[in-house]
Homo-oligomer: A and B are copies of this chain.
Amino acid sequence: MHLLQERIRKDGRNLGNGILKVDGFINHMVDPVLMDECGKEFGRLFGRLGARLILTAEISGIAPALMAGRSLNLPVVYARKHKPVTMPNKVYLTTAPSHTKGVQVELIVSPEYLPRDTPVLIIDDFLASGETILGLVRLVEAAGANLVGIGALIEKSFEGGRERLKSLNVPIETLVCITSMDDEKFEFAE
């Protein structure tokens, strides 16, 4: 997606160790108009899958997932990293390693919002190692729901996430693909 790629080129920063700083428009300060355009693109890519619900991981997945939900007119469920007081005690919970935090984080969903047999589309900000998305997939499986597709704003293809998700046999769509992050630069797939 040209608009997002140009924004990464302009405002993204390579912090080294494969960490791409995009917090000027995705993670900390968000450009809602850009995110809305990304949501519409997800709408075009996934509109025919019959999803009934979008699942994402807080916090950085929320903006793209919400705008995809707006475009597809679907509810968006955040897997929470901390259990809020309003959540019942019986939950679906898994852990996933956070590349940027260097620790395991919990991903928690209340069963009332992830019903059995629901066709679920997963949307996140990054597809890098695929670990967070695999955590979301485990929640879908624990709930007996049906994964129908996976989308991310930015793929870092050199981290191998797409390979790890291949056996799930669902469409995987990313809006921008970065193929290398050496020497403080980054290169995009054409």
Contact = CB atoms under 8 A, between A and B. Distances in A.
Interface stretch (A59-67, A130-138, A154-162): A59-67
Given A36-B70, A84-B101, A100-B86, A30 B63 contact: no
* Copies of this chain in the oligomer: 2
B84 A33 contact: no
Interface stretch (A2-10, A73-81, A175-183): A73-81
Interface of A: 15, 19, 21, 23-25, 27-33, 35-36, 58-59, 62-63, 66-67, 69-70, 73-78, 80, 84-87, 100-102, 109-110, 112-113
Top 10 A-B residue pairs of the complex, sorted by shortest distance between their CB atoms: A32-B69, A32-B70, A29-B113, A21-B86, A30-B76, A29-B77, A85-B100, A32-B66, A62-B62, A29-B75
